[in-house]
Amino acid sequence: MPGGGLNIPGRHLNEYGLVVDENEYAVIASDDLPHGTVVDTPVGIQGIVYDEGSGNGNLDIYCDWQPIETSEC
């Protein structure tokens, strides 16, 4: 699960596979906003900036994913 090196209280996956904190805020990375900033996300829940490295003008929402297996057609 992403964010293991960060200090995120209660870090876990929510029912949609988003990495959230103990208060169900999505974990966000931003190069433009300071750590601790609360933002509205396009996925319908609020997030808190815990990390940087997303590039200017972007927000990264941390999620867990599994590759989809493909079958031969």
Give the residue among 61, 51, 65 at the shortest CA–CA distance from 7.
51
Predicted confidence at residue 3, as pLDDT, reads 65
Non-local CB neighbours of 6 within 8 Å, separated by 6+ positions: 27, 50, 51
Predicted confidence at residue 69, as pLDDT, reads 72
Instruction: Identify the segments of the chain with pLDDT beneath 70.
Output: 1-4, 70-73
Predicted confidence at residue 5, as pLDDT, reads 73
The answer to whether 58 and 31 have CB atoms below 8 angstroms apart is: yes
Provide φ and ψ at 50, rounded to 5°: -115, -15
- Output the pTM of the full model: 0.82
Tell me the domain boundaries of the chain: 12-61
In one letter, which amino acid is 46? Q
Predicted confidence at residue 64, as pLDDT, reads 87
Using CA atoms, how far apart are residues 21 and 18, in angstroms rounded to an integer?
10
